[in-house]
């Protein structure tokens, strides 16, 4: 978990400076469980896709297999209307 957390810390500033990044907020559970959550909000789907295509993100994704027991859950959400 330490290596994963360090790697994510290294990309926070880069992600937040990208065009279309509204927020990029990594967090861990308060109970100390080995989970890393990243709340990302992008201005558009194309901004999100461009973010994921950046070489620094591709490098991070390439390392995930060394750190994760299973594939990450990626959930695309939308704002609750009403």
Complete domains list, the chain, with CATH: 2-67 (3.30.70.100)
Tokens representing 57 are 């993100």
DSSP letter assigned to residue 36: -
Residue 58 has a CB neighbour count (10 Å cut-off) of: 10
Q: What is the pLDDT along the chain (82 residues), one digit of tens a residue?
A: 889 999 999 999 999 999 999 999 999 999 998 899 999 999 999 999 999 999 999 999 999 888 888 888 888 888 899 8
pTM above 0.95, yes or no: no
Phi and psi dihedrals of 6, rounded to 5? -65, -45
Q: Alpha carbon of 45 to those of 2, 17, 68, 76: distances in Å?
A: 30, 17, 26, 10
Q: Are 37 and 26 in contact (CB under 8 A)?
A: yes
């Amino acid at each position: 978990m330490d290596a994963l957390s360090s790697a994510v810390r290294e990309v926070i500033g880069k992600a937040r400076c990208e065009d279309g990044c509204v927020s990029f907020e990594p967090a861990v559970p308060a109970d100390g469980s080995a989970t890393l959550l990243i709340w990302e909000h992008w201005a558009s789907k194309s901004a999100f896709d461009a973010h994921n295509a950046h070489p620094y993100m591709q490098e991070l994704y390439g390392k995930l297999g060394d750190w994760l027991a299973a594939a990450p859950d990626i959930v695309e959400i939308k704002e609750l209307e009403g």
